[in-house]
Structure 1
Amino acid sequence: MTHTEIEITAELVRDLLRDQHPDLADHPVRLGARGWANQLWRLGDDLAVRLPWVGEIADELLLKEHTWVPALAPRLPLPVPVPQRLGEPSPRFPRPWIVTTWVPGEPADLAPVTRGADAADALAAFLTALHQPAPEGVDTDSQGRGGTLAGSSTWVAQQLASATELGLVPDPDAVRAVWEDAVAAPVWAGPALWLHGDLHPANVLTADGTLCGVVDFGALFAGDPACDLSAAWTLLPDGAADRFYAAYQPAPDAATLRRARGWAVIRALVGLHVGDAGVRGRPGGKATWGPPAAATLRRLIATAPPHPSDRPL
Structure 2
Amino acid sequence: MPTARPANPVIDEALVQRLLTAQFPAWAALPLTRLDPAGSDNVIYRLGDDLSVRLPRGEWAAGQAEKESRWLPRLAPHLPVPIPEPVALGRPGEGYPWHWSVSRWLTGSPPEIGALPRPDETAAELARFVTALHRIPADTSRAHDDPLASRDSDTRAAIAATAHVFDSSALTAIWDAALATPPHPPVWVHGDLHPGNLLMADGRLSAVLDFGELGVGDPACDALIAWTLLPPSAREVFRVESGLDDDSWRRGRGYALSTGLNAYTAYAATNPRVAASTGHQIAETLTG
For the criterion TM > 0.5, the same-fold answer is: yes
1:271 counterpart (263, 271, 275): 263
Match of 1:103 in 2: 106
Q: Structure 1 residues 93, 235: closer, same or farther in 2, change over 3 A?
A: same
Q: Show the 5 A alignment for 1:98-247.
A: 98-108=101-111, 113-136=116-139, 139-141=142-144, 146-147=145-146, 149-165=148-164, 167=165, 169=166, 171-188=167-184, 190=185, 192-247=186-241
Q: 1:259 deviation in Å? A: 1.2
Percent identity over the alignment is: 36
Q: TM-score, normalised by structure 1?
A: 0.82
The one-character-per-residue Cα deviations of 1:263-293 (angstroms, maximum 9, x if unpaired) are 11112213323441433xxxxxxx3222232
Give, in angstroms, the shift of residue 260 of structure 1: 1.2
Residues 89 and 102 in structure 2, CA contact (< 8 A), matched pair in contact too: yes
CA distance in 2 between partners of 1:150 and 1:5 (Å): 31
Q: In structure 2, give the amino acid aligned to 1:30.
A: T
1:197 touches 1:219 (CA, 8 Å); kept in 2?
A: yes
Check whether the contact 1:197–1:220 (CA below 8 A) recurs between aligned residues: yes
TM-score (norm. length: structure 2)? 0.89
CA contact (8 A) 1:111 1:206 kept: no
Q: Which runs of 5+ in 1 are unaligned?
A: 280-286, 304-313
* Contact 2:33 2:46 survives alignment (8 Å): yes
Task: Indicate if the aligned counterparts of 1:108 and 1:203 stay in contact, CA closer than 8 A.
Answer: no
CA distance in structure 1 between the partners assigned to 2:217 and 2:246 by the alignment:
17
Deviations 1:118-138 (A, max 9, x none): 110110111111112544377
Q: Is the 8 A contact 2:191 2:213 kept in 1?
A: yes
Q: Which runs of 4+ in 1 moved over 6 A?
A: none
* Residue 94 (structure 2) pairs with residue 88 (structure 1): no
CA RMSD of aligned residues (A): 2.3
Q: Report whether the alignment pairs 1:35 with 2:27.
A: no
Deviation by residue 1:140-178 (Cα, 9 ceiling, x = unmatched): 33xxxx41533322111001112335x3x2x12111111
Per the TM alignment, residue 71 of structure 1 is displaced from its structure 2 partner at its CA by 1.1
Aligned length, in residue pairs = 283
Q: Which ranges in structure 2 are unaligned for 5 or more consecutive residues?
A: none
